[in-house]
Structure 1
Amino acid sequence: MKSRIETITKLGKIPADIRKEHKGFDEWGSVSSRQDHPSILHVLIDGRNPNAIDIEGKALPTLVYLTREKRPQFHHHFKAGALNALIRVSSRISNAPFILNVDCDMYSNDSKAIRDVLCFFLDEENGHDIAYVQYPQTFCNLTKNEIYGSLRVVMQFELPGFDGNGGPCYIGTGCVHRREALCGMKHSKELAVEWKEMKSDRRESASSIEEDCKALASCTYEENTLWGKQMGVKYGSLVEDILTGISIQARGWRSVYLKPERAAFLGVVPTTLLDTLVQHKRWAEGQLQIFLSKHCTFLYGRQNMPLKLQLCYCIYMLWAPNSFATLYFVFVPCFCLLKGIPLFPKISSFWGIPFLYVIFVHRVHSLVEFVWCGGTIRGWLNEQRMWLFKRTTSYFFAIIDNILMLCRCSKSAFVITGKVVDDDVNRRYEQEIMDFGTSSPMYTILATLALFNLFGLIALGTKKVAIYDVGVEVFDIFGFQIILCCLLVFVNLPIYQAVFFRKDSGKIPASVTLVSIAFALLASALAIY
């Protein structure tokens, strides 16, 4: 299918054999690009037709293929625009009261998932309050030790916490929505919905439905309407799912978190480090945009959202500013160690006990939490490594982009995370070997910080600290900084391997290595001299 699409784009026209094979291409004269083409809407299975049955003789549901129109002069709003087009087209075909949303890289893992969701919506006492039911996001291609981390703790601990404080956020996939809530209806205690058997007009042909629905998927349909503003999935954010969930909850609806024993849907995680970092940059940037906008939960949702739910969203909306604190403890302690400036109490001092206690308890809590939800100890170590990598690169670039956008120096861009990789990348991923095979400013930052801490330990080992001669005294005064540098060197071991020892195509490129070494040596020289 990918090959056919690319071939058609290169040719600029639809070959006769493909036009004859696929009815949807009948009206296509030419194809300029993936961003310039008319819509295709084709009823593949007409559920109203008595001949639409499976091999067991049971009726099949209506199945419709839709490609919405795209023109360069109209903003298509990425995923949000596609979802809104699907909402409108489905309202014309079935107008079903509930809508399931899953990403294109996910598949159903439990045929009973929808039935379980309906138990919430159709509850006679509390069902009328529920706008959507959110499943956790689970993945089928995770390695045993989750080399690039995972959303394990978020999905199994933090979303249930959301659920207890007013309802989980909408994460963009694995979610079943009530159509009225998704289309902008405000919640009311007097709202009563009568569930009736849905009957369609069998006299209407599939071809007439196709023709009518194409207008709903056109570029001009949303002009001067409330779509993307008060109706449907929200526009104007890199995390349209989070913004849409906030707007629904701000209208008085509540949501439900549902985690069955058998995962309902399985998706695919990025299999390269760069894709993972880019994905988290987009998430952090989009959520900080919401926090700094009129849709901040403390402003937008203060009337209908409880304060504890507003605070829950802040955990993610403030991901990006956390990068400054992380960059401080990654860089400043080593810099001051080289200059001979102690930042913490002596190891032998009573005031060192609180630091040891906090460090020990926080790490033990993190480890127990991760292992409790099914992870491994090595997986937890990988999670800590990714915690460091994301906060020093993804979140740092996210806040820089937000600053530039506020200064009107740039516009936010929706970057799609790559999920298709070649055999070498896939082999390294399965062997849990980090892949650094491309040049990126993110890799330059990671390598510079890793090398700077390594140079700091080397300098300490060869020269000690300039004004001290006794090793025991040095460790007593600078113990916490030395321990921190050792931990950072340990966490960054994959980077040292990719810089100095690896020969495969997944190593850090020579250009990145040279620049990083130069920056690390410059920082070390500034600290020492």
Structure 2
Amino acid sequence: MSYDYPPEKLAIYLSDDAGSDLTFYALLEASIFAKQWIPFCKKFNVQPRSPAAYFVSTSPPDDGGGQSQTRDFLAIKKLYREMEDRIETATMLGRIPEEARLKHEGFSQWDSYSSKRDHDTILKILIDSKDPCSTDIDGSALPTLVYLAREKRPQHFHNFKAGAMNALIRVSSKISNGQIILNLDCDMYSNDPLTVRDALCFFLDEEKSQDIAFVQFPQCFANVTKNDPYGSFLRVITNVEFHGTDGCGGPLYIELAAFTGEILSVEGSSIKIRRLIGKKHDDHRRQQSVHELEAEAKTLASCTFEQNTQWGNEMGLKYGCPVEDVITGLSIQCKGWKSAYLNPERKAFLGLAPSTLPQVLVQHKRWSEGDFQILLSKYSPAWYAHGRISLGLQLGYCCYCLWAPNCLATLYYSIIPSLCLLKGISLFPQVSSPWFLPFAYVIFGKYISSLVEFLRADGTVLGWWNEQRIWLYKRTSSYLFATTDTILKKLGFGDTAFAITDKVADEDVSERYEKEMMEFGSASPMFVVLSTLAMLNLFCLVGVVKKVIINESFVRLYQTMPLQILLCGVLVLVNLPLYQGLLLRKDRGRMPTSVTLKSSAVALLVCATFSFLH
């Protein structure tokens, strides 16, 4: 709401797909606080303009700012803390204060509420920019602010986030009909008040604007530590790969993007999200009261509105895929549109990165599974996009869509070479063979170039090493389960699911995250796979060391199987935090004992069985 942008041209919509009255209450409190906060931001050019982030990063101004600024700072901070306390108290008690419920008519919409999967459309215009009374404490206009919880019924499939976004597009076309749509996830906040103006530079460019469908921002996080133990920052993708795709027709759409309204238009129906409506739409708004507008817009978010329409197919965001953003962006680009990548020095948006390993693995399972589903769908970049987008962009899409099946090669190299090393079977050329050089070149060339890319993206050497670890973990757990689930769904043995990544962490978890300790904490099938592979490589390495001590010369073993020794040794080194979690740690973030016992037993059984095979 505090963007540096004309408020009468700015409308903010909160899509609450759970339909929570607590979320509505928080938004109501925020709308009241905004009347004080926005003038404060403009008066002192506050950055960032998320009050939570601002008060964490900023201390009261010293005398150089003047007594007025210090007094205003302390006063606005007090108001914010009071608002925060009211919201947190209501959340803890699980109910809205009776005074607030009686004061605002919006809460009456929850009278017929059954559950988050069974309720009517809940729509409330909290602030209407066209209302002369909607002003801040300085008398300046406020932007429109709207709460929406689309109708949900158990008998109607809701199509996850894509369905919520499409309902929001339709409702916003009725209320504000903006020419540009900025899509922002709920766990992100705006870090730069000029972001909207920056994005508009692409859409208003005299030469290239007609080709630009959306402007993609990178995903950046405020809580990433220096060495990023979970590789959450995606440094190489953000600072290298997306700049490369930008030269081939534009980057993928990944949630943080600004769209021109016309590429999501509803042609052939009574709703049009385009610049065609203009003045007539404004005249129509003036003839309607807020209550009439709410009643009319509610039907656009009903369960039955999309029946016998092209929503989710030719209109709006695509349905049927866990990564609705990527498949929507691909289909847009295949129609001749381009995208642009905007990665400003001051990050436009900041959010919360996952702070535990289970969160990371669940998130990447959803991403890789969705991308793999795109590869096998009618919108596959391998065939549907052929000839419609550039070859470079087509290959870029294919790289991400092949994340999941990459697990097969990674599993092979994580298991077979180590077992063969234990058995004394050589898989790679000996040091004396000329064929050793190509293998050594590929291995060292790949990792040296990877390190250089990571360091050029402002990473650290330890951060790069952590990236290699999480690369291994994702490919042997998240991607394995994603591949399995995708194949089962293609064979008719499952349905598409949307796994939400929980970003909330308790105090102990946060402290360990700040210390860059890997967080396990729960029993998971993914952890059983990771732990079994880690223990298998440890047992193989210990078995080889035992052989060297008892029977064989290490020099002879190194000459015949150097690459297998290197591979097994690196796998053991990479898994050191996992061994600590399995065997040494005593805190709540350790690996559960059940996982330790299962993985050790399975790994020992596999090693013993392979050792006795002829």
Range of TM-score over shorter length:
over 0.9
Does the Cα contact within 8 Å between 2:124 and 2:148 map onto a contact in 1? yes
Return the TM-score normalized by structure 2.
0.81
Aligned equivalent of 2:206, options 109, 119, 124: 124
Pair 142,12 (structure 1): closer, same or farther in 2 beyond 3 Å? closer
Q: Percent identity?
A: 54
Query: Number of paired residues?
Result: 522
C-alpha separation between the residues in 2 aligned to 1:264 and 1:12? 34
Answering whether residue 218 of structure 2 is matched by residue 136 of structure 1, we say: yes
- The 5 A counterparts of 1:228-307 are 228-307=312-391
Contact 2:418 2:568 in 1 (8 A): yes
For 1:162, the equivalent position in structure 2 comes to: 245
Q: 1:456 aligns with which of 540, 543, 566?
A: 540
* Counterparts in 2 of 1:194 and 1:77: CA distance versus 1, 3 Å: closer
User: After the TM superposition, which residues 237-386 of structure 1 pair with which residues of structure 2 at under 5 Å, given as runs?
Assistant: 237-386=321-470
Deviations 1:148-199 (A, max 9, x none): 1121111111111111111111102x2100111023679xxxxx97896784
Offset from partner CA, 1:129-159 (integer Å, 9 cap, x none): 1111111111111011101112111111111
Partners of 2:213 and 2:24 in 1: CA distance? 40
Say whether 1:483 aligns with 2:566.
yes
Is residue 9–residue 34 contact of structure 1 (8 Å, CA) maintained in 2? Answer: no
The one-letter code of the counterpart of 1:147 is P
- Residue 261 of structure 1: how far off its partner (Å): 1.2
Structure 2: gaps (5+ residues):
1-21, 27-87, 269-273
| Aligned mates of 2:212, 2:549 — CA distance in 1 | 63
For 1:109 and 1:449, how far apart are their aligned partners in 2? 41
Q: Residue in 1 aligned with 2:179?
A: 97
Which residue does the alignment assign to 1:227?
A: 311
Q: For 1:178, which of 260, 282, 285 is the aligned residue?
A: 260
* Counterparts of 2:483 and 2:182, CA distance in 1: 33
Equivalents in 2 of 1:356, 1:75: separation in Å?
Answer: 53
Q: Distance in 2 between matches of 1:462 and 1:257?
A: 54
- One-letter amino acid matched to 2:199: V
The separation in 2 between residues aligned to 1:275 and 1:152, in whole angstroms, is 19
Alpha-carbon offset, residue 465 of structure 1: 9.7
Determine the structure 2 residue equivalent to 1:63: 145
Matched, 1:510 2:586: no
Range with bigger deviation, 196-205 or 251-260 = 196-205
1:3 Cα offset (Å): 12
RMSD of Structure 2 on Structure 1 (CA) = 2.6
One-letter amino acid of the structure 2 residue matched with residue 96 of structure 1: G
SS in 2 for 1:366: helix
Matches for 1:405-484 after TM superposition, within 5 Å: 405-464=489-548, 469-484=552-567
1:431-473 residue CA offsets vs partner (Å, 9 max, x unmatched): 111111000011111111111111111111112399x732211
In structure 1, C-alpha distance between the alignment counterparts of 2:223 and 2:117, rounded to whole Å: 31
Please report how far the alpha carbon of residue 351 of structure 1 lies from its aligned counterpart in structure 2 after TM superposition. 2.3
Q: Is the 8 A contact 1:13 1:31 kept in 2?
A: no
SS, match of residue 176 in structure 1: strand
CA contact (8 A) 1:144 1:379 kept: yes
**Aligned residue type for 1:487:** V
Q: CA deviation at 1:30?
A: 3.6
CA distance in 2, matches of 1:30, 1:438: 38
The equivalent position to 1:43 in structure 2, one of 113, 125, 136, is: 125
Report deviation, 1:81: 0.9
AA in 2 matched with 1:164: G
Equivalent residues of 1:12, 1:31 under 8 A apart: no
Q: CA deviation at 1:14?
A: 8.8
Counterpart-to-counterpart distance in 2, 1:422 and 1:4:
24
1:189 corresponding residue in structure 2:
none
Where does structure 1 differ by over 3 angstroms across 4 or more consecutive aligned residues?
Answer: 1-19, 192-201
Cα separation, partners in 2 of 1:362 and 1:303, compared to 1, 3 Å: closer
What are the superposed Cα offsets for residues 22-49 of structure 1, whole Å, 9 maximum, x if unpaired? 3223243343221111122111111012
For residue 116 of structure 1, what is the amino acid of its counterpart? D
Mapped partners of 1:145, 1:369: distance in 2: 15
Asked if 1 retains the 8 angstrom alpha-carbon contact of 2:253 and 2:329, the reply is: yes
Secondary structure in 1 aligned to 2:383?
A: helix
Change (3 A) 1:196 1:223: closer
Tell me the SS of whatever aligns to 2:504.
Answer: coil
1:528 pairs with 2:588: no
Q: Counterpart of 1:224 in structure 2: which amino acid?
A: N
Name the counterpart of 2:156: 74
Cα separation, 2, equivalents of 1:521 and 1:267 = 42
TM-score (normalised: structure 1): 0.93
Question: Amino acid of the residue matched to residue 237 of structure 1?
Answer: C
Tell me if structure 2 keeps the 8 A contact 1:71–1:219: yes
- The alignment partner of 1:235 has SS state of coil
The answer on whether the counterparts of 1:162 and 1:309 sit within 8 Å (CA) in structure 2 is yes
Q: What residue ranges of structure 1 are gaps of 5+ in the alignment?
A: 187-191
Matched, 1:212 2:292: no
Query: How many angstroms apart in 2 are the aligned matches of 1:491 and 1:165?
Result: 35
Q: For 1:99, what is the secondary structure of its paired residue?
A: strand
User: Conserved in 2, the CA contact under 8 Å of 1:457 and 1:486?
Assistant: yes
1: distance between equivalents of 2:294 and 2:275?
29
1:224-247 CA-partner distances (Å, limit 9, x unpaired): 111111100111001100110011
- Say which SS state the counterpart of residue 95 (structure 1) adopts: coil
Change (3 A) 1:184 1:326: farther
In 1, Cα distance between equivalents of 2:190 and 2:96? 33
Structure 2 CA distance for aligned equivalents of residues 145 and 10 of structure 1: 35
Q: CA deviation at 1:524?
A: 0.8
From the superposition, tell whether residues 142 and 340 of structure 1 become closer, same or farther in structure 2 (CA, over 3 Å).
Answer: same
